[in-house]
Amino acid sequence: MASDSITGFVKTIINADTDEIIGMHIMGYLATELIAQASILIKTKAKVNDVANIVFAHPTISECIMESIEDTHKIAIHLV
């Protein structure tokens, strides 16, 4: 929506027991720019609550990473 495009999505996969981010599916506009962010979160074994300490500027494409992670706990606010 930040780029006038609402096609595509980010899906976050977490370990339900540990809350660790273990994977992401990213499709759509500028998906290739988001893959590095997702890789860092996965490689560092980030947990859902760790994302709360990361600043995501608004409006930006990278916010979809944050929103997808927040949606695993049903606290995302920018849903389509």
Distance in angstroms (rounded) separating the CA atoms of residues 11 and 65:
8
Average pLDDT over residues 45-68: 90
Alpha helices in the chain (DSSP H): 31-43, 63-71
Is 77 domain-assigned? no
Is 79 domain-assigned? no
What average pLDDT is seen over the chain? 89
Is 62 domain-assigned? yes
Question: Rounded to 10 degrees, what is the CA torsion of 12, 23, 4, 73?
Answer: 10
Is 80 domain-assigned? no
- Tally of domains in the chain: 1
25 is catalytic: no
> Which domain does 19 fall in, by range?
8-71
Angle 38-77-58 from CA coordinates, rounded to 5°: 65
Active-site pick, 25, 58, 73, 78: 58
pTM given for the model: 0.83
State yes or no: pLDDT of 52 exceeds 70: yes
- CATH number assigned to the domain comprising residue 40: 3.30.390.30
pLDDT, position 8: 86
